[in-house]
């Protein structure tokens, strides 16, 4: 192959990689700026400056601020995928334990991951939605509380005899969603008022009291099992998970609150 063709292919590959890098820089910068300034208070110039690129580079990748906002959420993996490798082997045969660990680990993951904390700040504190933006409910369902998946899990608990058939699944899901949203919102407003990492299991165990058991043995067995999400290390290195995309690998994990 002529040398000029090899050179052109190499340059094209480099140009594509540079474009992908710039795009990711813009997404990362947008998350930081939206979490700090709010969506309405952030301009594309702010994002370009934070990313270290020109405003023209922003428009090359995203046609508007709303398009950039929407792409942020499309690129995020659901928290259930991020915590999947951390679930204990017991959850294979115990749907109630799976429910408990999923909710507990999700709260602990959010409390330890700076990127996810910023995403929650945008979603709950720093955003006024308009018609061009992905709806809040769609974002919440995609990333965290998916009612269909939770309903299926509760039905498995009923089938296994861990939860009474008398349960009102729709009402329970509404209560669960309200609890989780309220807890995260209050934690974001006053992070020193609650140690979300440490108290996540206690919070979830109290939520699960809303599930009417068939007998007391199920509750006792469940309560005796400890759930804890352990960060990869205590020195701000990223969590290593197979499902974690490049956007998460550089985010870092803070040590446990108060340590």
Lowest mean pLDDT of 6-20, 22-36, 76-90, 116-130, name the range: 6-20
CB-based contacts of 246: which residues, under 8 Å, 6+ apart? 24
pTM, 2 dp: 0.76
Q: Which two tokens stand for residue 188?
A: 């974001």
The two structure tokens encoding residue 214: 């068939």
- The three state secondary structure string of 158-172 is HHCCCCCCCCCHHHH
Confidence of residue 232 (pLDDT cuts 50, 70, 90): very low
| C-beta of residue 80 within 8 angstroms of C-beta of residue 102 | yes
- What element of type H or E holds 99? helix 95-112
Q: What is the enclosing helix (H) or strand (E) of 16?
A: helix 3-37
Q: Could you tell me which of 62, 67, 66 has the C-alpha nearest to residue 48?
A: 62
**Predicted confidence band at 226 (pLDDT cuts at 50, 70, 90)?**
low
Q: What phi and psi, each to the nearest 5 degrees, are found at residue 93?
A: -115, 5
**Is residue 12 over pLDDT 70?**
no
1 pLDDT band, cuts 50/70/90, is low
Report how far residue 79's alpha carbon sits from residue 141's, in angstroms, rounded to the nearest whole number: 11
SS3 44: helix
Q: Report how far residue 85's alpha carbon sits from residue 178's, in angstroms, rounded to the nearest whole number.
A: 27
Domains, the chain, in order of start with CATH, read 3-74 (1.10.10.60), 79-249 (1.10.357.10)
Residue 247 has pLDDT above 50, yes or no: no
């Amino acid at each position: 192959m002529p040398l000029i063709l090899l050179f052109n292919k190499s340059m094209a590959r480099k140009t594509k990689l540079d474009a992908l890098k710039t795009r990711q820089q813009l997404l990362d910068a947008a998350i930081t700026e939206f979490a700090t300034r709010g969506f309405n208070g952030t301009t594309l110039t702010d994002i370009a400056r934070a990313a270290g690129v020109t405003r023209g580079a922003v428009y090359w990748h995203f046609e508007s601020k709303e398009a950039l906002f929407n792409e942020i959420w499309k690129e995020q993996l659901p928290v259930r995928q991020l915590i999947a490798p951390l679930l204990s082997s017991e959850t294979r045969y115990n749907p109630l334990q799976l429910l408990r660990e999923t909710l507990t680990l999700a709260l602990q993951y959010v409390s330890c991951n700076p990127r996810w904390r910023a995403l929650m700040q945008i979603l709950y504190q720093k955003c006024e939605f308009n018609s061009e933006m992905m709806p809040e409910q769609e974002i919440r369902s995609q990333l965290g509380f998916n009612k269909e998946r939770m309903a299926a899990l509760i039905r498995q608990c009923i089938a296994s005899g861990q939860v009474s058939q008398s349960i009102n699944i729709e009402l329970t899901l509404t209560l669960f969603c309200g609890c989780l949203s309220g807890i995260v919102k209050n934690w974001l407003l006053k992070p020193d008022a609650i140690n979300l990492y440490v108290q996540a299991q206690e919070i979830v165990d109290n939520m699960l009291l809303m599930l009417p058991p068939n007998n007391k043995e199920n509750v006792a067995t469940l309560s005796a099992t400890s759930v804890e999400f352990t960060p990869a290390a205590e020195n701000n290195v990223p969590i290593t998970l197979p499902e974690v995309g490049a956007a998460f690998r550089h985010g870092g994990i803070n040590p446990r609150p108060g340590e």
